[in-house]
Each structure stands twice: as structure tokens, then as C-alpha cells.
Amino acid sequence: MKNTDNEYRITVSNRQTIDSETDTIEETAYGNYTEKNGKQYITYKTENDGDKISSMIKIDGNEILIKRTGSVNSSMTYKVDTKKEFLYHLPYGTVPMEIETQRIVSKLDENGGTIELVYTLTVQGEKYFNDMKITVSKR
């Protein structure tokens, strides 16, 4: 297992479309990349308006888990052609959601790379179409 100390720049860019409106949210942080037992892990921390969030991305073959803890708590599993329900815990309450993943492309190793996710997020009957790209690069 190779472990580093914030040697990687991690950029998460998510383009979300509902009806005909598209928004893009992007966050950049410095974090770590490790490999253990055939799985890849990316960990990083962000802060938004004083709220701290720790994120962990686990790549396990054709399945990706994104887990966030802190001011928001969620565990989102992405697997192609699979619907996964989860709870998104926010300071003001819990929101049930569902992810249906259409595509996963992971080209990632200790030198960096990208993960691309195309998925539909359903929240209270509303469908949000998402195209997420995670870019990992050495500092």
C-alpha cells in the first residue's frame, strides 16, 4: 500500500441538468491516493462557509463509492445499470435519493488520472441528469 500526504490535486466537476437548465459545480482540494487489496482510494477535505466535509472515493472494479462526512453525510454507490437508494443527511434534515448510473470510465493510477460518471439522480420525484468528472493529478 502506498500512502502519500496531500500530494494530489483533486478536482470534482459535476454538470447537472434538470429540464433544460444546466449548472456546473466544481471543487478543488488537495488529498491522498492509495491502493489497497486491488481497490483505489482518494481522500480529501473541503470547507464551504465554515462547514468541513471529509470525502472518500473508493474505486472497486466497476463500482464506485463516494462517501462524505461532516456537515453533510452521504454514502453514494455508482454501478452501471443499477439503481441505488441512499439518504443524504443535511443539517436541516434527511433527504432520500436514488442514483441510476449509465456510465463509469476510470483511468486512474498512482500518477493520477480521471474518473467519469454519468448518472441520473432522483430527488422527490425530480430527475437530475449528471455528468461528473474527477481529475487527480500529482502536485
Listed in order, strand segments (DSSP E) in the chain are 8-18, 21-36, 39-48, 51-60, 63-70, 74-79, 83-90, 93-109, 112-123, 126-138
How does pLDDT run across 86-110, given as a tens digit for each residue?
999 988 899 999 999 999 999 999 9
Asked, for residue 2, whether it belongs to a domain, the answer is: no
Q: What is the pLDDT of residue 48?
A: 76
> Where are the alpha helices (H) located in the chain, listed in sequence order?
none
Mean pLDDT to the nearest integer, 103-130: 96
User: What domain range includes position 76?
Assistant: 8-138
Whether the Cβ atoms of residue 84 and residue 68 lie closer than 8 Å to each other: no
Average pLDDT, the chain: 93
Q: CA-CA distance, 138 to 135, in Å (whole number)?
A: 10
- Counted domains in the chain: 1
Asked, for residue 3, whether it belongs to a domain, the answer is: no
What CATH number does residue 84 fall under? 2.40.128.20
How does pLDDT run across 25-58, given as a tens digit for each residue?
999 999 999 999 999 999 999 987 788 999 999 9
Asked, for residue 57, whether it belongs to a domain, the answer is: yes
